[in-house]
Amino acid sequence: MVQMGTHKTELSKTISGAERGRRIAAVNYARASVGQEGFLLSAADEEHAQRFINGEIELADYVQPRSALEHSKT
């Protein structure tokens, strides 16, 4: 399993190292849970998860259903 959270951006400085660690653990847990159901995250899902880890978006935005995200872009 690939561990996310190694890419650094300027925005990643807005959250603490401890918070970043919690976000990495949450994403890894979600990835494992999805994997147990027989699914894999798409490249878009992985990019979205990385934005959460970096502190660019909050948990509510990260877990928002994809259909809601697609409608908000139109």
Output the six-digit token pair for 42. Answer: 């798409």
pLDDT per residue over 34-61, tens digit each?
A: 999 999 989 999 999 999 999 999 999 9
Residue boundaries of the structural domains of the chain: 15-72
pLDDT per residue over 57-74, tens digit each?
A: 999 999 998 765 554 554
pLDDT per residue over 12-36, tens digit each?
A: 458 999 999 999 999 999 999 999 9
DSSP secondary structure string, 40-66? ---HHHHHHHHHHHHTSS-HHHHSS-H
Determine contact, residues 24/3, Cβ cutoff 8 Å: yes
Question: pTM of the full predicted structure?
Answer: 0.70
